[in-house]
Amino acid sequence: MTDMMHAFELIQPQTLDEASDLLKKHKEDAWVIAGGKDSLDWFKDRVKRPEIVLDIAQIKELHGISDQGDHIAIGAMTTLTEIAESALIKEAFPALASAASRIASPQIRNVGTIGGNICQDTRCSYYRDGFPCYRAGGNTCYANTPTAMNREHTLFEAKRCVAVTPSDAAPVLSVLDAEMVIARGGKVRSVKAAEFFVGPEIDIERMTAVERDKGDLLVQIKIPKTWAGSKQYFEKAADRQAWDFALVNVAMAAKVASDGTIEKLQIACGAVQCTPRRLSNVEDLVVGEKPSDDLGVLIERVASQGAKPLNYNHFKIPLMGKLARRAVGSLSA
């Protein structure tokens, strides 16, 4: 039999308190599985071998989408299919529904969760293959050498590690100013998207504010209604239409006046940096303007300003520009 997983203990807590207690007790020895697709790959590769696997699927309060008046709350264990098909999300945040429908494949979306998607570790193949790189606690980066395969890696803010965020939902959540609710030992705190996603300059061994060694658990995602019903856009460029992770993706939310002038706009790209990258250059450029071809040319020029490509990922620079241009261009329709 291939891909035999190591022996572990599977615990299925029924309540959040139970899960918090277990995490507090076991800390790093416990591995939380949400949808479990990516986790099982880690185990099969024998790169991660946790003693205890915590299945949080049976905790009821982690499931479901609800309208809370000033915000919409999404349980961390809500599946991507549920989000993509939810009438509430489709109406208020079409970009999120669109991103959820483009993640991975139908079978993965049916069990894969929004919490699992945004907490997922980077897809850097060196890191995933168990190389002792910076992110894995070592002292070198295998993806940033003259012969390394770094087609999928970062354009911006490389600090020793050149990995990128793999999530399609993450850039959408950052343009929608979402807040992530994290539980630790019975206490709950709320973290803004801008602080939730963590780059290597803050901590090279994790990608989010969820700290495993301290027993953190992502519980809920709150999206304020600031951008509800605004004009939104999501597009993902990947090698294949299904399954693949984004080479670059773009998410945008905008408010447009009746005469077509852009009043307010937030735009972000994923898979170009360790965290979703807000394109502040584009945001500054387009506010007060009307979408036009001339504006599109300018957007393409400024979108990827400051990019420092590696050996094989130069193609992401024009890709970013085109995607940003298309996103803003969608407002003229």
Partner 1 sequence: MSWEVRNATSGGVGMMLPPDPADDYSTEPATREIAGNILGEPESWRLPEMSRRAFLRGVVCSGVVIASSGFLFSSSQAQANPRHSEKLITLNINGKAHRLDVAPNETLAHTIRYKLGLTGTKVGCNRAECGACTVIVDGQTEYSCSTLTMRVQNKQIRTIEGIASASGGLHPVQQGFIDELGPQCGFCTPGQVMSAVALLEKNPNPTVDEVRYALSGNLCRCGAYDHYLKGVMRAVGRA
Could you tell me which residues are beta bridge partners of residue 32? 54
**Dist. CA 143–CA 125, nearest whole Å:** 8
Of residues 230-249, those binding partner 1 (CB under 8 A): 241-243
Kindly state whether residue 125 participates in binding partner 1, applying the rule CB under 8 A: no
Identify which of residues 53 and 282 has a Cβ nearer to partner 1 in the complex: 53
- Quote the least distance from Cβ 52 to partner 1, whole Å: 9
Could you tell me which residues are beta bridge partners of residue 54? 11, 32
Reported as type and span, the H/E element at residue 223 is strand 216-224
Nearest to 155 by CA among 252, 276, 328: 276
Kindly state whether residue 6 participates in binding partner 1, applying the rule CB under 8 A: yes
What are 287's two structure tokens?
A: 């506010």
**Dist. CA 272–CA 156, nearest whole Å:** 7
Identify which of residues 105 and 261 has a Cβ nearer to partner 1 in the complex: 105
Kindly state whether residue 87 participates in binding partner 1, applying the rule CB under 8 A: no
Binding mask 93-122 for partner 1 (x = CB under 8 A): -----------xxxxx-xx-----------
- Quote the least distance from Cβ 31 to partner 1, whole Å: 12
Total site size for partner 1, rule CB under 8 A? 32
Could you tell me which residues are beta bridge partners of residue 232? 253
Burial of 107 from C-beta contacts in 10 A (0-12 / 13-18 / 19+): exposed
Helix residue ranges, H only, 93-184? 94-102, 106-111, 114-119, 125-128, 169-175
Kindly state whether residue 331 participates in binding partner 1, applying the rule CB under 8 A: no
Binding mask 197-236 for partner 1 (x = CB under 8 A): ----------------------------------------
In the 8-state DSSP scheme, what is residue 140? Answer: -
Identify which of residues 83 and 253 has a Cβ nearer to partner 1 in the complex: 83
For residue 233, what are the contacts with CB-CB under 8 A and spacing of at least 6?
Answer: 95, 250, 251, 252, 253, 254, 326, 327, 330
Give the HSE-up count for residue 154: Cα atoms under 13 Å, Cβ half-sphere.
23
- Quote the least distance from Cβ 112 to partner 1, whole Å: 9
For partner 1, which residue of 20, 81, 113, 174 counts as binding (CB under 8 A)? Answer: 81
**Dist. CA 273–CA 136, nearest whole Å:** 18
Binding segment for partner 1 (CB under 8 A), chosen from 36-44, 62-70, 122-130, 303-311, is 36-44
Identify which of residues 111 and 181 has a Cβ nearer to partner 1 in the complex: 111
Identify which of residues 5 and 73 has a Cβ nearer to partner 1 in the complex: 5
Using CB under 8 A, list all residues that contact partner 1.
1-10, 12, 33, 36-37, 40-41, 43-44, 53, 55, 57, 81, 104-108, 110-111, 241-243
